[in-house]
Amino acid sequence: MRLTRRKFVQSILGAGAASGLPAAFTACSGSSKATAATPASATAHQFDISSEATFPKGFFWGTATASYQIEGAWNEDGKGESIWDRFAHTPGKIKNGDTGDVACDSYHRWREDIALMRAMNLNSYRFSITWPRIQPSGSGAANSKGMDYYSSLVDALLEAHIRPLVTLYHWDLPQTLADAGGWTNRDTAARFADYVQLVANGLGDRVSDWILFNEPAGFVDLGYLEGTHAPGRKSLLDFLRATHVVNLAQGAGFCALKAVRPSARVGTAFSMSPCEPATNSEEDKLAAERAHAMTNLWFLEPALHGRYPEALTFLPESAMKIKSGDMEKTTAPLDFIGINLYYRIIASAAHAIERVTHAQEWLFPVKMDGGQQGPKTYFGSEVWPKALYDMVVRITRDYNRPAIEITESGCSYDDNPDASGAIHDSRRIAYHRDYLAALARSIAEGADVRGYHAWSLLDNFEWAAGFSQRFGLAYVDFKTQQRTIKDSGRWYAKVAAENRLSS
Ligand code: FCB
């Protein structure tokens, strides 16, 4: 959920010669994507939010969380230090000096969390695994206590008839690997594949649905270019190198998982936003296509087509350290495309004066802004349900109707308990209702969407914003760790039970 990450990227992509990378390889044998006729594009008409919608039989109703944001127990049971431990312990990096040392204490309270999900009638839970709980220093044998924790969680979820949807990397890299260069070091791709194999061996007999990366575009940008997330690097070269190593790791991780469990369903959760041209001018339309390539395809095209996006007319191959044969290795025929979607992007061509004064916009003439027409969340992003419809329809059209999971969508608001302890978060209900209505429309028009995961089950540690942003369907009192289901959680429980939206 990031809008600001583009600035620097814009400086190096866009102008100049055509990217000359070869297309379409299959790096390891795997599953094939579900395919069927592509539905007619309906992007042209304005979406009308309906109040009645039924979802397909077997639809997954879920919530999503991430290890560092909820687990706490940062140094228990042999866990190694992660880059987020190091970053949050560094003064000045996180709002109010907050850390994830305790967070929602889910490492100890996961039974309570499962009880919340049961109360919400959910049948899917997207959570992530802390790599340094499994491999404290990023390589070698599995730490059995770390594996046991996730194994118990998986067993209890299955017992509660909740599908575990397991994210292998939601940003908490072992610090030891970061010390050796982190995602800028090609060896990290091989380390990732080893880790994936260990986890698949430990949990793969019970977990069938996996997510390799959470928002690769997010952590590579914020961690290596903007420096506002761990590991806090601010380097254009590091950003380019990390991009390519993560794409290699996506291919290697896919193969590693399939080698252990050929029948596993494997995807990535991509951060996506439809990119609308600010006007009908040809320049703005071109800008919007480039914005789309950067925002939505930077880690998807290397997996599905073995190439970097075509709409980028210049690719700094040597700076990215792309070697011959690499694009075969990035290829991973993902079984589903995970979409994390919060808002849309408005793209426009940079004006002459901006291009002269900002080197970035001279080199890559695209400006990206958030929309301004819809209401804003407490975090400042625009609420725009049509964004979900537009994105799902476009991915469905451009990728031959792949299986899609909505792996995240949600909103932060500063609603607190009233005198009776109830949390009346009507704006969150409106958000999920309207985004789900948009999603239902895309499904009615032919998209193959398997599930929706509200971000988040619980209020939690929101990265650099610390505990200042509450996204949960359940409220957490961070002093007592008491959880209380909000009105939105009750509303979501009804939707999940009925498998339909009603006004
Ligand atoms: C997404 C992240 C998730 C959470 C939400 C609000 O970008 O994947 O961890 O921070 O934003």
Using a 6 Å cutoff on CB, does residue 113 contact ligand 1? no
Closest atom, ligand 1, to C-alpha of 412: 6
Does 135 contact ligand 1 (Cβ within 6 A)? no
- The CA distance from 437 to 53, in Å, is 7
What is the pLDDT, as a whole number, of residue 125? Answer: 99
Helix, strand, coil shares of the chain as percentages rounded to 5? 40, 15, 45
Cα 489 from Cα 259, distance rounded (Å): 39
Ligand 1 pocket mutation, candidates 126, 215, 405, criterion most atoms within 8 A of CB: 215
Closest to 446 (Cα-Cα) out of 400, 408, 409, 406: 400
CA of 215 to the centre of ligand 1 (A): 8
For 95, half-sphere exposure in the C-beta direction (CA atoms, 13 angstrom radius) is 9
Give the pLDDT confidence score for residue 36 in this predicted structure.
Answer: 32
- How buried is residue 116: exposed, middle or buried, by Cβ count under 10 Å (0-12/13-18/19+)? buried
54-58, 143-147, 186-190, 312-316, range with the lowest pLDDT: 312-316
| Residue type for position 446 | G
Q: How far is the CA of 449 from the centre of ligand 1 (A)?
A: 20
Find the mean pLDDT for residues 413-425. 98
> From CA 22, how far away is CA 145, in angstroms rounded?
44
Hey, what amino acid is at 226?
E
pLDDT tens track for 438-471? 999 999 999 999 999 999 999 999 999 999 999 9
Exposure b/e, 259-290, CB count within 10 A at least 16 = b:
ebbeebbbbbbbbbbbbbbbeeeebbbbbbbb
DSSP state of 335: S
Ligand 1 center to 276 CA (angstroms): 22
Cβ(117) to ligand 1 under 6 A? no
Residue-level pLDDT at 275: 98
Task: Provide mean pLDDT across the span 94-103.
Answer: 98
Task: Write down the mean pLDDT value for the chain.
Answer: 90
The pLDDT of 299-324, averaged and rounded, is 89
Which protein residue's CA is at the shortest distance from atom 1 of ligand 1? Answer: 1
Q: How far is the CA of 340 from the centre of ligand 1 (A)?
A: 8
Tokens at residue 199, please? 């986890």
For residues 163-185, average pLDDT: 99
Please check the confidence at residue 38 and state whether its pLDDT lies above 90. no
**Model confidence, pTM:** 0.91
Whether ligand 1 lies within 6 angstroms of the CB of 84 is answered as no
pLDDT tens track for 122-143: 999 999 999 999 999 999 999 9
Cβ–ligand 1 distance for 455 under 6 Å, the answer yes
Residue 169 CB less than 6 A away from ligand 1: no
Nearest to 411 by CA among 454, 475, 464, 466: 454
The residues pairing with 377 across neighbouring beta strands, listed in sequence order, are: none
DSSP state of 164: E
Candidate of 219, 340, 461 to mutate for ligand 1, largest count of ligand atoms within 8 Å of Cβ: 340
Q: Which atom of ligand 1 is nearest to the CA of 471?
A: 6
- pLDDT the model gives residue 20: 26
409 Cβ closer than 6 Å to some ligand 1 atom: no
Beta carbons within 10 angstroms of residue 147's beta carbon: 18
Residues noted as catalytic: 215, 408
Residue type, 485: I
The span from the CA of 146 to the CA of 137, in Å, is 13
Pairing of strands 482-485, 474-477: antiparallel
Region 32-61: mean pLDDT is: 57
Predicted confidence at residue 48, as pLDDT, reads 55
Of 492, 470, 499, 464, residue with least CA distance to 84: 464
- Residue 336 C-alpha to ligand 1 middle, in angstroms? 20
